[in-house]
Structure 1
Amino acid sequence: MAESILKLTDVAVFQKENMILNDISLEIKKGEFVYLIGKTGSGKSSFMKTLYGDLPLKQGQGSIVDFNLKTLQEKDIPFLRRKLGIVFQDFKLLPDRTINNNLRFVLKATGWIDQPKMDAKIEEVLHKVDMKTKGFKFPHELSGGEQQRIAIARALLNDPELILADEPTGNLDPQTSVEVMKVLQEINKTGRTILMATHDYALILKYPSKTLKCDGSKVFEVVQKAV
């Protein structure tokens, strides 16, 4: 049996005092590729934020990559995030430095000190997303699709057990979305677990996989045909 990477039992998601989602019980196993769909405002981002420790888990039980979300302390969050790769819709690259230095910044921030090891790791993740020759460029010199590939490379730096991709194709045209999706598929084939929030139903039809839906303050698994 595949081990559980994420398990939630009777979880409610709050933003401050407001309950956004409730009664969530679900499990994601190692190696799965899972979509999270739902309308804007249905709670997808709040759900993701709870998983990476941005919103505290006040109600229910949750474990993610062997961290207990209920007892998670502020000081544990950096360690949790080292085991997660997070990909945002708006790339979140630092505009004032090259791609290599963007990636080096993350490595240093997560405790790497050995320069040759950092260089080798940067080369490795850029190679995985087909961006090996772009390390010397600045973010503004790259297209949206290229910037998103870099953001995926950045998410891979610490060999995460789970990648949380929050609308990774949200700002991209359909062709580029497919290219980014292919990169994520390749990464998933190497055994990495991916949870991807998306509005892009065309992608889901093209690359069908387990799908969770945020709707009516619940999160539940949907059968593909009903999407």
Structure 2
Amino acid sequence: MPQPVLSLKNVTVYQENNAVLTDINLEVNHGEFLYIIGKTGSGKSSLMKTLYGDLKLREGDGEFVDYNLAKLRERDIPYLRRKIGIVFQDFKLLPDRSVYENLSFVLKATGWNEKREMDSKINEVLDKVGMKSAANKMPHQISGGEQQRIAVARALLNDPEVILADEPTGNLDPQTSVEVMQLLREINQNGKTIIMATHDYALIMKFPAKTLKCDSGTLFEVVQRTV
């Protein structure tokens, strides 16, 4: 049996000294697409932050992309993050740099230094998200949906094992949300594991997948009603 890409056993997620989710037991296998839903403040983002090393795992056992989250040291976090891609609700593009410069900034920060290899990688990820023509544009010159496509391209730069998408459609109109979801599902169909926090139930109905809900401090699977 292949190892799961994520395994949480008896995990409690803390935000400062408050336990926001308790007794989480979860396994995610390579190539899965998983939604995490729940109201604002229910613990979705805290769980995501625990996975990418922004919040310490203080209780329980967690293995994620071969890292022990409970024993994660400050110096391990950049290496953990090279194995995952993160897509945020608010894009987090640097406003004073072009699309190309935003992507090359990430590559340099993660140890790339060969210009030809960097150019080739940037072209490859922009092509994957249908944004090759935007390489020299500034973020303010492209729409919100296009900025989120660039954010997805950025998440793909280091060929991650997993993409964590935290409310990736939260700032987008319904039509653009569908386009970004189609892109994420396509990336998933090409073998990438995707864990997506969202409260957009319309999207979940349109693109069904395994769904876990954060509610009253617990995380449980919900079965979607099919029409």
Q: TM-score range by the shorter chain?
A: over 0.9
Aligned to 2:8: 8
Aligned to 1:213: 213
**1:224 maps to 2:206:** no
Counterpart residue identity of residue 162, structure 2? L
**1:43 maps to 2:50:** no
Quote the Cα distance in structure 2 between the aligned partners of 1:129 and 1:142.
14
Aligned to 1:166: 166
Aligned to 2:78: 78
Counterpart residue identity of residue 159, structure 1? D
Quote the Cα distance in structure 2 between the aligned partners of 1:183 and 1:17.
37
Aligned to 1:95: 95
Aligned to 1:176: 176
Instruction: Give the TM-score normalised by structure 2.
Output: 0.98
Identity %: 68
Quote the Cα distance in structure 1 between the aligned partners of 2:16 and 2:179.
37
Q: Deviations over 1:78-102 (max 9, x none)?
A: 0000001000000000000000000
Aligned to 2:136: 136
Q: Deviations over 1:12-61 (max 9, x none)?
A: 01112111111000011000000000001101110100000000000000
- 48-57 vs 16-25, which deviates more? 16-25
- 70-79 vs 12-21, which deviates more? 12-21
Quote the Cα distance in structure 2 between the aligned partners of 1:186 and 1:225.
23
**1:54 maps to 2:54:** yes
Aligned to 2:199: 199
Quote the Cα distance in structure 2 between the aligned partners of 1:82 and 1:192.
14
Q: Deviations over 1:186-217 (max 9, x none)?
A: 10011000000011111100110000110010
- 79-88 vs 15-24, which deviates more? 15-24
> Once the 2 structures are TM-superposed, how far is the Cα of residue 3 of structure 1 from its aligned partner?
3.3
> Once the 2 structures are TM-superposed, how far is the Cα of residue 219 of structure 1 from its aligned partner?
1.0
Quote the Cα distance in structure 2 between the aligned partners of 1:69 and 1:133.
39
> Once the 2 structures are TM-superposed, how far is the Cα of residue 2 of structure 1 from its aligned partner?
4.7
Aligned to 1:69: 69
Counterpart residue identity of residue 11, structure 1? V
Quote the Cα distance in structure 2 between the aligned partners of 1:18 and 1:179.
37
Q: Deviations over 1:108-149 (max 9, x none)?
A: 000001100000000000000000100000000010000000
Aligned to 1:150: 150
- Is the partner of 1:81 in helix, strand or coil? helix
> Once the 2 structures are TM-superposed, how far is the Cα of residue 221 of structure 1 from its aligned partner?
1.2
Counterpart residue identity of residue 34, structure 2? V
Aligned to 1:187: 187
Counterpart residue identity of residue 138, structure 1? M
Superposition RMSD on alpha carbons, in Å?
A: 0.9
Instruction: Give the TM-score normalised by structure 1.
Output: 0.98
- Is the partner of 1:159 in helix, strand or coil? coil
